[in-house]
Amino acid sequence: MTQYKAPLRDMQFVLHELLDVEKQYAAIPAYAETNRELVDSIIEAGAQFSENELSPINRSGDEEGCQFDQGVVTTPTGFKQAYSKFVELGFGALSADPEYGGQGLPPSVGIAMSEMNGTANWSWSMYPGLSHGAVNTIEQHGTEEQKKTYLTQLISGRWTGTMCLTESHAGSDLGIIRSRAEPQADGSFKISGTKIFISAGEHDMAENIVHIVLARLPDAPKGTKGISLFIVPKFLPTADGGVGARNGVSCGSIEHKMGIKASATCVINFDQATGFLIGPPNRGLNCMFTFMNTARIGTALQGVCAAEGSFQGALSYARERLAMRSLSGPKAPEKEADPIIVHPAVRQLLLTQKAFAEGGRAMVYWLSTQTDIITGTTDADQRKAADDLMSFLTPIAKAFLTEVGYEAANHGVQVYGGHGFIREWGMEQIVRDTRIALLYEGTTQIQALDLLGRKVLQSQGAMLRQFTKIVHKFCQANEAKPGMADFVKELARLNKEWGEVTTEIGMRAMQNADEVGAAAVDYLMYAGYVTMGFLWAWMAQVAQDKIAAGSEEADFYKAKVQTAQFYFKRILPRTQAHVAAMRGGLEVLMQMDADHMAF
């Protein structure tokens, strides 16, 4: 099994050379003291932790899994110790508010840390990962008393957080949840109901777990407009911030899953549990979107982690594995066969993994710099522009990156051949662990409806135009630059086509709204490929400038340009299949009677 190695050089390329985060930080008063030296030192420390503490317990954690005994969940060997070290190093507090014990660093620094943790050991990373969303939700919507009670403990890592949305009968349709919240004389509420699929809902790594729960008040209107949000701790806090009496919260069972076996996925029962309203009554879903958007970016990152982890393993194996001779003649005549990396078909798999890993990293990190602006700037117009861009890109990043990350994970198995199907090599675990990413925080299909229906058509295309204008300006600025013509020409064509196909769908949807659902997934994948194409063209431009300036790292930058060329020639043409499918329309999907689908 390949030992994870943090791709520090590429992470630094994206942060410092592509995004120039130091310049952005300097323009945001809250982050003005964050310089490159500090960022690199944190990332390097995170790399050591991920490589030395998390990667070694990744496979063993999968083999052992979580154990459940009468409501008590025990995490695999080494998980609790690794979490204690994580807390000791202060990694969970990097981007949190200093007023409550955080270090006040930009969120983009935290996303780099999350990537390393997640690639090294995705199951482990979910425990502290869920806490970030709980912190953000309480920061934005909690009372001052709630912030003082919960934020310090969550930020320190002594307590962890969850999000409790799903119920067995409801799934993603939160408008029909049944959990109840009964008001009490002291201003608290009694929460009753059962939630399923709760990641990190019960474990032995922290002294308390703070559940963020959706429930209905007695007089709540039906549907999504009648949902409220509550803080429901496993143990009630004491006046001095400690752990008090056990609340009416229990773990009924843990799920037996295809992957992420070392992450406890729990059924959580609330039996007249004491809860505290967060945000306005019946506006819980609006408040929860703070948590959900945070989680969706984290899930998008899982696609990057899958591609990176699988690529590292596949590349190492392909360099060493001998099989057959190159069709154009032996490349290693002194050996009994050539390394499989010389074969074009294997190169196709490896370069696809590399393109998705590095392109996905650029996409998620770029999104995180928008979070920097949203959380740190004092300029209202700047904040709104960043918020709109992030709102538009989030469903693309979440769904597209998890889809292509899963594809890359499967390529890893393929490169290993039969060995990839064997557990000891680690490739099949990445496939199993990653499959859930296409489902949780809203399936690809739900994200596609959000993108096309809400973000694009309901805004009359305003959010789309904001992004395509960025792409248009890039094309204008680089069309005459040496080496950029092929990138710019195709990117400009796709940028124009995107608007045209959106108009076509919108016209059809005026006659039948189901046309939106028929086109949505292909629309999202098209959007993902074009967005990543923009980022690869941008990376190629930066790399070519470095080469022209005489950089001593010419090989690194040359590989960037070559990967961009591969993406544009061998992956970006997939957009045309999605356009053809979108234009295929609704009728062929709906004309068959459901009773006739099987005989």
Distance CA 131, CA 83 (A): 13
> How far is Cα 327 from Cα 342, in angstroms, rounded to an integer?
9
Which of left, alpha, beta for 562 (phi over 0: left; psi -120 to 50: alpha)? alpha
The structure tokens listed for 366 are: 């770029």
Angle at 410 between CA 409 and CA 413, to 5 degrees: 100
Alpha carbons 266 and 68: distance in angstroms, whole number: 10
Residues in Cβ contact with 559 at an 8 Å cutoff, skipping those fewer than 6 apart: none
Beta bridge partners of 216: 180
Name beta bridge partners: 160: 209
Q: For 29, which DSSP code?
A: G
Alpha carbons 546 and 266: distance in angstroms, whole number: 50
Amino acid at 7: P
> Quick one: tokens of 354?
């590399």
- Choose the catalytic residue: 358, 407, 428, 441: 441
What is the distance between the terminal CA atoms of the chain, rounded to a whole angstrom? 46
Nearest to 133 by CA among 35, 239, 278, 262: 278
Angstrom distance (rounded) from CA 33 to CA 25 = 8
- The secondary structure of 464-493 as a DSSP string is HHHHHHHHHHHHHHHTTSTT-HHHHHHHHH
User: Which residues, 6 or more positions from 520, have their beta carbon under 8 angstroms from its beta carbon?
Assistant: 445, 448, 449, 451, 452, 453
- CA angle 587/591/595 to nearest 5° reads 150
Task: State the number of CA atoms in the 13 A half-sphere of 551 facing the CB.
Answer: 14
**CA distance linking residue 468 with residue 496, whole number of Å:** 8
Contacts of 355 (CB under 8 A, 6+ apart): 536, 563, 566, 567, 571
Whole-angstrom Cα distance, residue 416 to residue 549? 39
Nearest to 427 by CA among 414, 440, 446: 414
CA angle 282, 134, 154 (to 5 degrees): 135
Give yes or no for a contact between 106 and 372, defined as CB atoms under 8 angstroms apart: yes
CA distance 351 to 349: 6
Alpha-carbon distances, residue 124 vs 276, 401, 524 (angstroms):
29, 21, 30
CA-wise closest residue to 252 among 190, 205, 197:
197
- Pairing status of strand 249-254 against strand 265-277: antiparallel
Question: According to the 3-state scheme, what is the secondary structure of 190-213?
Answer: EEEEEEEEEECCCCCCCCEEEEEE
Cβ pair 162, 209 in contact under 8 A: yes
Whole-number Å distance between alpha carbons of 435 and 190: 36
Catalytic status, residue 441: yes
Q: Which residue numbers are catalytic? A: 441
